[in-house]
Structure 1
Amino acid sequence: MGHVQRPRAPGSRGPLPLPREEAAPVHHDQLLTVAEAGDYLGTGERFVRRLIAQRRITYVKLGKYVRLQRSTLDDFIEAGRVASEG
C-alpha cells in the first residue's frame, strides 16, 4: 500500500495529520504468566507454582501454558488479609 495523505484543510499549509491510534486499554483482569504473578504478589515463581500444584489458586491453561488472572491474585491477597485489633 502507498502512503496515505489526508486532504489539506482550507487555509492551511499542509495536510491534516492522521488520527493517532489510541493505546489499548489496560484490562484489570489480564492474564499473567507465573513469573509475572510472582512479581505481582511480591513472591517468587516457585511459590506461585506451589499454589497451583496444591490447587490453592485458580489458573487458566492455554495449551501447555499456565496463566493467572489478576483478579484471582487480588482475591487471593484479600482472602489472606488479617484485620487489625485496634
Structure 2
Amino acid sequence: MSNVQSRIDQINKQMVLVAVMEAPGSLLFGLALYGTFVGFGDGFLPFLQNPMLINAMFGFGGVIMGWGMYKTIRLAAEKKRILSEAE
C-alpha cells in the first residue's frame, strides 16, 4: 500500500471518529430544539421544562457540532490536497 493511500485511510478513520464524537452534540441540540418548540410543559422529558437547561443544551450542543464541522472541513481539505498532489 502506498504512503498516499495509507494517509487517506488515516484521514477516513479520523473523519469517522469525529462523526462519532459529534453525535452527542447533535443529540443535545436536537433535544433543545424539541424542548423549545414542542415539548415545553410536556411530560415526555421533564428536564426539558427548565429554560436554563435548554439554553445550556443549545450552547454545548452547538459548540460540539461546530468543533465537528471544523475538524471535518480540515480533514476533507487535507484529503483533497493529498489526492491532488498524488495525481
Q: Which TM-score band (shorter chain)?
A: under 0.3
* Greater percentage in strand: 1
Structure with more relative contact order (C-alpha pairs < 8 Å, separation 6 or more): 2
